[in-house]
Structure 1
Amino acid sequence: MRLKDKVAIVVGAGQSPGEGTGNGRATALTFAREGAKVLCVDRDLESAQETVKMITDGDGYAEGFRADVTRSDQLKDMVEEAQRLWGRIDILHNNVGVSLAGGDAELLEITDEAFDRCVAINLRGTIMACKHVIPVMRRQKSGAIVNISSMAAITTYPYVAYKATKSAMIAFTEQLAYQNARYGVRANVILPGLMNTPMAVDTRARTFKKSRAEVEAERDAKVPLRGKMGTARDVANAALFLASDEANFITGVTLPVDGGASVQTG
């Protein structure tokens, strides 16, 4: 019960179509298992409510909320809803992001519309969610924010908007940590590597007209640790640590969860 009596907002608590569990859903389930009351936020309310049901079926506490991260007013409403339900906000977890699904492409192929869409979803949404939750956490003199970037930020990655926005996420989180440390508010960022999630695997299978097994094999072969991708649970466990009081003296940190990809050489 590492999050006992804490209130958490998980943005992106639903998931993309496909096999297995996504990072956002896994994190919401993990937070609830560890005692948090969780507001499961997603633009697809039905998907968010599926996560809520998984939590409540396990005797946890959760509510669903619909918000499109490209709408700052809806993110403001999200924060107000968490306060209305439980009176405080201890954790904000930002897990929304798109690449190929948002029209991302290589430099010579990307359109203005696709680039703007990815920026609005991947970066602006996180910044605006933080904008609305920070005043609450400052008043409380406590809070933990965990943002999800990607190993794409610091390794070779062919698609422009995802790499640019996920790189910016690191810089923003560092700024957030520094400017709010005096208020007792922590902010850290996780860099998932190659993960076996619906967004990462099933989206690529559909886009490139390959089987899921083919995409899995190609991605597994690139992972140094055991030659297997990570799972959403690996990201959720890292987020749990950073959100918990065990990480009480940790802020401004960039944490790769990547099976050793970031230290691979040659």
Structure 2
Amino acid sequence: MDSISANLEGKVAIVTGAGSRPGEGVGNGRAAAILLARGGAKLVLADSVAEWAEDTRRMIEAEGGEAITVAADVTKPADCARIVEAATGRWGRLDALVNNVGISGPPGTAEDVDPEDWAHGLLVNVTSMMLMAKYAVPAMRKAGGGAIVNIGSVAGLKGGHPSLLYPTSKGAVVNMTRAMAVHHAKDGIRVNCVCPGMVYTPMVQANNMTPEKRELRRKRSILQVEGSGWDIGAAVAFLCSGNSRWMTGAIVPVDAGATAIAALPNS
């Protein structure tokens, strides 16, 4: 299962949601893509907003890396197939897939959530990851193995979220990861899940984030240090590399310890 070298040199990776909206900091997908490229991987940067992906490509190429972009909607099977074909057509192989696309989805409990919005949220947050794997797995099998990293959330590990859709969909990602790990182990494909905590990214910033709310988020952990997209990207790069060759089906919280405790200490 050591088909991905520790430094990712010569490997090919797809990152969905590889762009990052304008704002402070960096998104999880962009950070993961840049760190994978620094490790030696060649990148396919998929995003529904072409310019955001192009910005990531320019950043990678400015550091001497190699990347191409694909404007695509990962809820559409044909687009998912096209993303994988971009990798195999350009470099002849696929070694890693980072399923990063996700949305907050509709607000509301079971009583008041809109059913159509609910269905769309599940399509984006869960079904898209299945569709990408559907086309990526055969290419990875041909390459002799690989790694898939699904981006979940600590919201998928515990209750307390004000909306029903988001924790439900992220909980599905967690168990989908475990199931996929079993299904594809025979082909040397490892499947793991990163669950971000209260990281501060441009997407979070755009969601009515006040300085007061930002400070409260920082304090909702043991370390009480604000996380960024780089923290998530570092975990992703590790799980795509040979350094994690003995890990599959793992659910990895990257949350400054927020899920390690039932309640914050008084201090």
TM-score (norm 1): 0.93
- CA offset digits 1:25-45 (Å, max 9, x no partner): 000110111111001100001
Q: How do 1:79-228 residues align onto structure 2 when only pairs under 5 Å count? A: 79-99=84-104, 102-155=105-158, 156-205=160-209, 211=210, 213-225=211-223, 227-228=224-225
Aligned positions, number: 257
Separation in 2 of the partners of 1:161 and 1:79? 28
| Runs of 5+ unmatched residues, structure 2 | 1-5
Aligned partner of 1:208 in structure 2 is none
User: 2:161 corresponds to which letter in structure 1?
Assistant: Y
Q: CA contact under 8 A between 2:109 and 2:162: conserved in structure 1?
A: yes
Q: CA contact under 8 A between 1:41 and 1:67: conserved in structure 2?
A: yes
Aligned partner of 2:262 in structure 1 is 265
Using a 3 Å threshold, how does the CA distance of structure 1 residues 137 and 145 change in structure 2: closer, same or farther?
same
User: 2:145 corresponds to which letter in structure 1?
Assistant: S
Aligned partner of 2:25 in structure 1 is 20
Q: CA contact under 8 A between 1:104 and 1:115: conserved in structure 2?
A: no
SS in 2 for 1:5: coil
Residues 214-223 or 149-158, more deviating: 214-223
Q: CA contact under 8 A between 1:104 and 1:114: conserved in structure 2?
A: no
Aligned partner of 2:3 in structure 1 is none
User: 1:260 corresponds to which letter in structure 2?
Assistant: G
Separation in 1 of the partners of 2:69 and 2:177? 26
Separation in 1 of the partners of 2:107 and 2:51? 26
Separation in 1 of the partners of 2:129 and 2:248? 17
User: 1:202 corresponds to which letter in structure 2?
Assistant: A
Separation in 2 of the partners of 1:215 and 1:107? 26
User: 1:148 corresponds to which letter in structure 2?
Assistant: I
Separation in 1 of the partners of 2:28 and 2:109? 25
Aligned partner of 1:251 in structure 2 is 248
- CA offset digits 1:82-113 (Å, max 9, x no partner): 100110000000111111xx333333331012
Aligned partner of 2:65 in structure 1 is 60
Identity value in percent = 37
Residue 75 (str. 1) matches residue 72 (str. 2): no
More helix, by proportion? 1
With CA pairs under 8 Å and 6+ residues apart, which has the higher RCO, 1 or 2?
2
User: 1:178 corresponds to which letter in structure 2?
Assistant: V
Using a 3 Å threshold, how does the CA distance of structure 1 residues 194 and 91 change in structure 2: closer, same or farther?
same
- CA offset digits 1:20-72 (Å, max 9, x no partner): 10100000110111111001100001100000000011111011111101111
Separation in 2 of the partners of 1:25 and 1:41? 10
Separation in 1 of the partners of 2:53 and 2:94? 19
Separation in 2 of the partners of 1:154 and 1:246? 25
Q: CA contact under 8 A between 2:106 and 2:165: conserved in structure 1?
A: no
| Runs of 5+ unmatched residues, structure 1 | 206-210
TM-score (norm 2): 0.93
Separation in 2 of the partners of 1:21 and 1:94? 17
Q: CA contact under 8 A between 1:223 and 1:229: conserved in structure 2?
A: no
Alpha carbon RMSD of aligned pairs, Å?
A: 1.3
